[in-house]
Amino acid sequence: MTGERAALLLKLKALKPELTARLKLSDLRAFDPVAIGMAGPDSIGVLVAYAETPSLFDISALQNELESSLDAKVHLAVDGMIEPAWESRIRRAAMDI
């Protein structure tokens, strides 16, 4: 894991309690997008599960908020909305933070 990715994980961990409470997330995990062939080392993957079905506006707002807060490219995957070809790879790469 790069130093940049470790710093992103620490920032995401700090955001997690507030995000899960405010957005009614039942889970928030991180994954290495490089491990699944999605991006370079200056980005992070985030897998979320919502307690209630989100709108596309909710998902877009979360993506924008994460990218702004983390100052990095975020690859957002939403449980129940992941393309089947990617789902098992993302789940295997996801880690609790």
Q: What is the pLDDT of residues 22-37, one digit of tens each?
A: 999 999 999 988 767 7
Per-residue pLDDT, 66 = 97
What is the reported pTM?
Answer: 0.90
Nearest-angstrom CA–CA distance, 94 and 78: 12
Nearest-angstrom CA–CA distance, 78 and 87: 10
Per-residue pLDDT, 54 = 95
**pLDDT of residue 83 exceeding 60:** yes
Fold classification of 3-96 (topology level):
Beta Polymerase; domain 2 (3.30.460)
Instruction: Give the domain ranges of the chain.
Output: 3-96
Please count the other Cβ atoms lying within 10 Å of the Cβ belonging to residue 76: 17
Per-residue pLDDT, 42 = 75
pLDDT in tens, 45-63: 999 999 999 999 999 999 9
